[in-house]
Amino acid sequence: MSDSITGKTALRRQLLAERALLTPEQTDAAGTALAGRALELAELADARTVAAYVSVGSEPGTRALLDVLRERGVRVLLPVLLPDNDLDWGVYEGADSLARARLGLLEPAGPRLGPDAVCAADTVLLPGLAVDARGMRLGRGGGSYDRVLARLARAGAHPALVVLLYANEVVARVPEEPHDHPVQAVVTPEGVRRFGG
């Protein structure tokens, strides 16, 4: 096993343990603050289509953000986890349109648009566990969003890539592998940080 993979595993374990200590009240408050910060992003103010996700458990909350984007007339695409861990997409039609899925996920219950639907997004909001000073993101390790980022690159699509995290998850360095892609910004409940040019 490479040092990068070992380092990622250890960092994931540490960050997931820290998230496990959060109360539902803390995650709810963080989600409200996160939505306010994210809505200040020019990448969301001008977006017509945003690929996002429904937070679960102790992830930084996205539900308030999803609802505001939808109220603004933004077409919000949500992932549907396929058996091979790739992602299909469906349109968010409100909280009542979400269905429970495997791994405790909530997914859109409506029609599936296909894995390439993400290529139409102006902005992609990514889940993660950490991001570093270079904008390198650490995901959970399932590879779903690695596939999404590779699909965007193959299609020549260049949406803004933004990861949603807690402030303590912005770290000095994330172990990196050749398939990893940097993001342009991170939003935490405390603010926004941009990377690169």
Amino acid 1: pLDDT? 47
Structure tokens at 154: 């193959």
**Nearby residues of 13 by Cβ (< 8 Å), 6 or more positions away:** none
Give residue 5's pLDDT.
60
CATH of 3-194, one of 3.40.50.2300, 3.30.110.40, 2.60.120.1570, 3.40.50.10420: 3.40.50.10420
pLDDT computed for residue 181 by the predictor: 84
pTM: 0.92
pLDDT at 52: 97
- Cβ contact 45:69 at 8 Å: no
List per-block mean pLDDT (blocks of 10 residues) for the chain, which spans 197 residues.
68 93 92 92 92 93 94 96 95 94 88 97 96 92 90 94 95 85 93 85
What's the pLDDT at 4?
58
DSSP assignment string, the chain: --HHHHHHHHHHHHHHHHHHT--HHHHHHHHHHHHHHHTT-HHHHS-SEEE-----TTSPP-HHHHHHHHHTT-EEEEEEE-TTS-EEEEE---GGGEEE-GGG-EEE-S----GGGGGG-SEEEE--SEEETT-BEE--SS-HHHHHHHHHHHHT---EEEEE--GGGEES-----TT--B-SEEEETTEEEE---
